[in-house]
Amino acid sequence: MSAGVVAKTVRGFTGALAQTLVQEEQAQRHGVLQSVDARVKLVGMLALVVTAALSHKLAVMGALFGLGVALAAASQVSLWSLAKRVWLVAFGFTFMIAAPAIFLTPGVAVWRSGGLVVTAQGLRTAALLIARVETAVTLSTLLVLTTPWMHLLKALRTLKIPVEVIALLAMTHRYVVLLMETANAMFEARQSRMVGRLSGGEQRRLMVNTGGVLMSKTLEMGNQVFLAMQARGFRGEVYLLTDFRLRGRDWVAMGGFATAVAMAAMAGR
C-alpha cells in the first residue's frame, strides 16, 4: 500500500503544504525585494513583465531574465528551486507550443531531414516566445515569493482593483490551504488504519469514496470559512497592523524599476 495511489497522494498533499509554508517563510526573509514596499514591487514587477512581453529582441529578454536571477539571489530565493519548479515547467509547456513554429515559419533553412525543414526565423520565433514566458514567470514568481499574501492583496487594493476580486483571491488562497490540510489528514488517517496491500480495483474504490467525502467536506468548509471571515469583519478590504509607508529605499527601488523599464522598452523596439 505504501507505494500505491493513496501513498502518492499523501506525499503530494504534504509536499504542497510544505511548499506553502516555505513561501510564507520566504516572504519574511531579509532580502532586497522583501524590504521594498509591496506597492512599489507590484507596479515595478508588472511593468517589467509588460516590457518583456512587448520586447522583440532576445538580448533584451536575456538582460531582463538576468535581472530576475540577480534579484532572486539578492532576495535569498533558491535558484535551484526556481529552476526545478518554475523554469523547467515553463520551458516544457512553452516548448510544446513553440515547437511547430520551428518547422512552419518560412525563412532560411538551417537543417533539413526528409520533409522537415528548420529555419532560422523559426528558431528565433520559438526562442523569443520561450524567453518571454521564462522572464515573465520568473518576475511574477519573485513578486509572490517575496511579498506576504495579505500585503500583496492590500497593494492590489490600493491600485483600485475591485473589492470583489480581492475577496475572491483572499478566499481562494485561504481555502486551498485548508482544503489541502483536510485532504492530507484524511489520507493519513485512512492509511494508518490499513493492513496489507489493496488490489488496483480496491484502491480505485477507496479513492472514489475519499473524493466523495472530501467534496462534502469542501462544501461545508467553504461555508464555515466564509462565515468565520465575515464574523471577523472581512468585507473584501484588507487591513494590516501597519500602513504602507514609502521610505528612502522604496524611492530608490522605484527609480531602479523605472530605469530598467525605460531602458528595456527603448532597446527592445
**Would you say residue 20 has pLDDT above 60?**
no
Please tell me the pTM assigned to this model.
0.74
* Amino acid letter, 23: Q
pLDDT of residue 141: 87
* Of residues 85 and 18, more confidently modeled: 85
Domain map (residue ranges) of the chain: 5-267
Largest Cα–Cα separation, the chain: 69
Is residue 130 within 8 Å of residue 98, measured between CB atoms?
yes
Find out whether 29 and 23 touch, Cβ atoms under 8 Å: no
Instruction: Report pLDDT for 58.
Output: 87
Q: What is the pLDDT of residue 252?
A: 92
Alpha-carbon distances, residue 102 vs 59, 96, 129, 206 (angstroms):
20, 11, 11, 46
Instruction: Give per-residue pLDDT as tens, 146-185.
Output: 888 888 888 888 888 887 787 777 777 777 777 777 777 7
Joined together, the cell numbers standing for residue 202 give 480496491
Q: Is the pLDDT of residue 90 over 90?
A: no
